[in-house]
Amino acid sequence: MKQWKSYLAGAWNEGQGDPIILHNPATEAPVAELRRATDLGAALRHARTVGGPALRALSPSDRGALLSRLAKLVHDHREELIEIAIDNGGNTRGDAKFDIDGGTAVLAAYGHLAGELGPGPWILEGEAEPIMRGSKIRAQHVLVPRLGVAIHINAFNFPAWGMLGKLAVAWLCGMPVLCKPATSTAALAARIAEILIEEGQLPEGALSLLLGPVGDLLDHVDPQDVIAFTGSADTGAKIRNHPAVVAGSVRVNVEADSLNAVVLGPDVEQGTELFDLAIRDLVTELTQKAGQKCTATRRVLVPQDRLEEVREALLERLQELASKTGDPALKEVRMGPLSTAQQLHDARTGVAALARSAERIMGDPERSEFVGVDRGKGWFLEPILFQATAEAALDPEAAFHRLEVFGPVATLLPYDGTIAAAATIVGAGRGSLVSTVYSDDRGFVAEAVTRLAPFLGRLVLADEKTAQGSMSPGCVFPVVNHGGPGRAGGGGELGGRAGMQLYLQRTTIQGGAGPLARLLGTT
């Protein structure tokens, strides 16, 4: 069986103790193993003292060139990586491409962005301003790389995109990275790291890989380090409150749970392209990666008088998907399993909790026969749809506003077609990564922006004219903000230059106008 190793302090690290087994979630067969790594303090020191200086010695454009080269390198290994994602991630081929190509797209995009950053070693932010009216003293903000390690702790659902997306931004800023993928699906991240380390000609110390549990890693953090975490709100809170993190005011970015909503405007009629787009997007968001996406749609707001037509159109498409759920290694399969037995258990528990607030109108959480697998084998959940009453939809305590069931599960929420009601319902999720409004009514859309945006990291507007070129809202492009307020973690990643702020220190350089301009090259 394949044994994956950590890569720490510039060497492959076999780890110690009992092996931790990785599985194929469709067959439950063991596929690889890894062992718990130790001496994590030394690993962080090596990254800080060797990787940091090596990366900072490169200009932003050299670092950008590195990212562009790595995007190509990962792409060259795409077929092999897809197989690993199917085998250890339960991904269909389409799911695997979404993850891997998403990662290479972020590398390429940040490689390109390097061209805008100037020669370094600092990046100018805005223009020099007089410190007060009439003064010859100027203040200029500059952004400089932090001197620590970017510690990336990722969730199980996007081992490639999660890793490469974070890594691209940190490296462009000049920070070395210690990547800790989620254990259950670590094979894909481990192979990508192996490719980058063996073939990527990385500056020494730029990348460390920690496989298995996080151990005492956070005991060794330094005030110049940065932690970017993706995962559950509970783990996010543990990281934020870790004594060493608190003591060092270590920067932490948290991407956590999200009860994303879509709002169908009252003007969206069956038979229009916009209606079809909404149904298509809903099916994609419910079933891509078996619904294990932080950006997946969990709450579907439908005007009360359109509920029946939306429900029927959705049920028809979802039933087809349910009949094609099974072993993702098979061509005819359109949706694979959940990633682990624990995820399946948690999802079933969540489905039972949702049933206290809404009626289950499709899907059997106990179904045990799926395409191409032995009965009872694999961690499968077929698509499950709930429907609430309009009254329950407005109840902020309802389970569908409280609980993220991380699988192919969503709830239809009828509303009265006003943005006021929609804002109450969306806001009951206490902060989300993304929402979509489907409407051609300009007034409705303008009001939606004002009233929904405070709850969201991203608001997608879909209309009839652009329906054909529209992308499903769960697709996170490198230029868009990925993060959300409140329960979504309060973080922000990507978003072009905005995502770089996490890894850079903003310092105001204050001095005489002439010398400052000469020093910073702004004359």
Tell me which residues touch ligand NAP (CB under 6 A): 153-157, 180, 182-183, 213-214, 230-232, 235, 238-239, 255-258, 294, 404, 406, 433, 489
Q: Decide whether 155 or 413 has the Cβ nearer to ligand NAP.
A: 155
CA–CA dist 496, 243 (Å, integer) = 32
Q: Decide whether 60 or 159 has the Cβ nearer to ligand NAP.
A: 159
Q: Is 312 a catalytic residue?
A: no
Out of 179, 255, 382, 404, pick the active-site residue. 255
Is residue 177 within 8 Å of 166, Cβ to Cβ?
A: yes
HSE of 401 in the Cβ direction (CA atoms, 13 Å)? 21
The distance of closest approach from Cβ of residue 84 to ligand NAP in the complex, given in angstroms and rounded to an integer, is: 17
The distance of closest approach from Cβ of residue 19 to ligand NAP in the complex, given in angstroms and rounded to an integer, is: 14
Q: Decide whether 122 or 161 has the Cβ nearer to ligand NAP.
A: 161
Residue, CB closest to ligand NAP: 231
CA–CA dist 148, 224 (Å, integer) = 4
What is the DSSP track for 373-412? S-TT-S-----EEEE--HHHHT-TTSHHHH----SSEEEE
SS (H, E, C) 64-88: HHHHHHHHHHHHHCHHHHHHHHHHH
3-state secondary structure of 513: helix
The distance of closest approach from Cβ of residue 383 to ligand NAP in the complex, given in angstroms and rounded to an integer, is: 18
Q: How is residue 522 written in tokens?
A: 């702004």
CA–CA dist 301, 309 (Å, integer) = 13
The distance of closest approach from Cβ of residue 249 to ligand NAP in the complex, given in angstroms and rounded to an integer, is: 18
3-state secondary structure of 140: strand
Q: Decide whether 153 or 388 has the Cβ nearer to ligand NAP.
A: 153
Total Cβ atoms within 10 A of residue 446: 11
Out of 173, 179, 285, 294, pick the active-site residue. 294
3-state secondary structure of 135: coil
Q: Decide whether 313 or 403 has the Cβ nearer to ligand NAP.
A: 403
The distance of closest approach from Cβ of residue 165 to ligand NAP in the complex, given in angstroms and rounded to an integer, is: 9
What is the DSSP track for 363-382? --TT----BTS-TT-S----
Is residue 205 within 8 Å of 20, Cβ to Cβ?
A: no
Q: Is 294 a catalytic residue?
A: yes
Strand order in the sheet with 432-438: 359-362, 384-387, 409-415, 297-303, 260-264, 432-438, 456-462
Is residue 72 within 8 Å of 52, Cβ to Cβ?
A: no
Q: Decide whether 154 or 208 has the Cβ nearer to ligand NAP.
A: 154
What amino acid occupies position 301? Answer: L
Q: How is residue 414 written in tokens?
A: 């009828």
The distance of closest approach from Cβ of residue 514 to ligand NAP in the complex, given in angstroms and rounded to an integer, is: 46
Total Cβ atoms within 10 A of residue 207: 23
Specify burial of residue 360 (Cβ count, 10 A radius: 0-12, 13-18, 19+): middle
Q: Decide whether 187 or 516 has the Cβ nearer to ligand NAP.
A: 187
Q: Of 521, 241, 300, 289, which is closest to residue 425 (Cα–Cα)?
A: 300
How, if at all, do strands 384-387 and 359-362 pair?
A: antiparallel
The distance of closest approach from Cβ of residue 330 to ligand NAP in the complex, given in angstroms and rounded to an integer, is: 26
Cβ neighbours of residue 185 under 8 Å, at least 6 residues apart? 22, 88, 89, 156, 157, 159, 339
The distance of closest approach from Cβ of residue 175 to ligand NAP in the complex, given in angstroms and rounded to an integer, is: 19
How, if at all, do strands 11-13 and 6-8 pair?
A: antiparallel
Q: How is residue 26 written in tokens?
A: 């469709």
Q: Decide whether 229 or 503 has the Cβ nearer to ligand NAP.
A: 229
The distance of closest approach from Cβ of residue 47 to ligand NAP in the complex, given in angstroms and rounded to an integer, is: 17
3-state secondary structure of 229: strand
Q: Decide whether 36 or 306 has the Cβ nearer to ligand NAP.
A: 36
Residues annotated as catalytic are 255, 294
